[in-house]
Structure 1
Amino acid sequence: MARILLAEDDNSMRHFLARSLENAGHEVLAFADGEDALPALQAGPFDILITDIVMDRLGGLELAMRAQAVKPGVPVIYITGFSAITMEDAGEEVNFSQLLSKPFHLNSLVEAVDKALAAQQAS
């Protein structure tokens, strides 16, 4: 089981992802954007950050950089509806784990979480 910090600005998608991850046995702290997630980020601890890249007040790339400052090496799984997004802007300080393009199957998300946890435990 992992403690997952989830930032997704689409309400229905956020609830759906949180419920699916909880059904897979994880604890999920879900927020509407990166700005809302900051207090939970500071309160810690969390094992994985799952974040939408494009959000109004604080986007996923900035949230991931702040997460790395709090917990260096934390795995980050990005989700996006924009296929043109590249991870070149993420920078080396972000522990980029995987990019899932919407729409994606929930099994893909659960597999990405499992993969990130396995890699984290192996290091």
Structure 2
Amino acid sequence: MLLEDDAGLRFTFSAGLESAGHDVIALSSCSEAIQALKTFKPDVLVLDLLIDDGSSIEVASFANYAAPEAEVVYVTGSGMFPRGELFNMVNNLRWVLRKPIQIADLNDMISHVALRQSETALSFGQAG
């Protein structure tokens, strides 16, 4: 799941992730993301921190409840939380990437997080 309010970045990130083989649902608001999480269970959420209709921290928190296996990667241009405070606020946060970002770096991070999930699932005897 990709949450980005900038239409150009949303298109670029979505196209780049899809070309790398990821299934992507791209959304532009926190309310859309929360609604989607009621039926869609993503492996990874790529969230812009500051969205037009608020902070996406509420989306990450809801995902922790609605899709507890999902992990969060923030992609942000914000200078908020420069000392990693965000990791204390979002239980399922795995990485924060600062904009501008190369799509290859985003793909690498998503692949890394997904691989970690597979290894964790296998270590608990679940199908990955």
Q: Which runs of 4 or more aligned residues in structure 1 lie more than 6 Å from their structure 2 counterparts after TM superposition?
A: none
The alignment covers a number of residue pairs equal to 119
Tell me, yes or no, if structure 1 residue 56 matches structure 2 residue 45: no
**Runs of 5+ in structure 1 lacking a partner?**
none
Letter in 2 for 1:107: A
**Runs of 5+ in structure 2 lacking a partner?**
121-128
Q: Structure 2 length normalisation: TM-score?
A: 0.85
Secondary structure, in 3 states, of the residue corresponding to 2:95? Answer: strand
Match of 1:102 in 2: 99
Tell me, yes or no, if structure 1 residue 119 matches structure 2 residue 116: yes
Q: Distance in 2 between matches of 1:118 and 1:90?
A: 20
Identity fraction in percent: 29
| CA displacement at 1:90 relative to structure 2 | 5.0
Match of 2:34 in 1: 38
Contact kept? 1:60, 1:78, Cα under 8 Å: no
Q: Distance in 1 between matches of 2:11 and 2:23?
A: 13
Secondary structure, in 3 states, of the residue corresponding to 1:77? Answer: strand
| CA displacement at 1:85 relative to structure 2 | 3.1
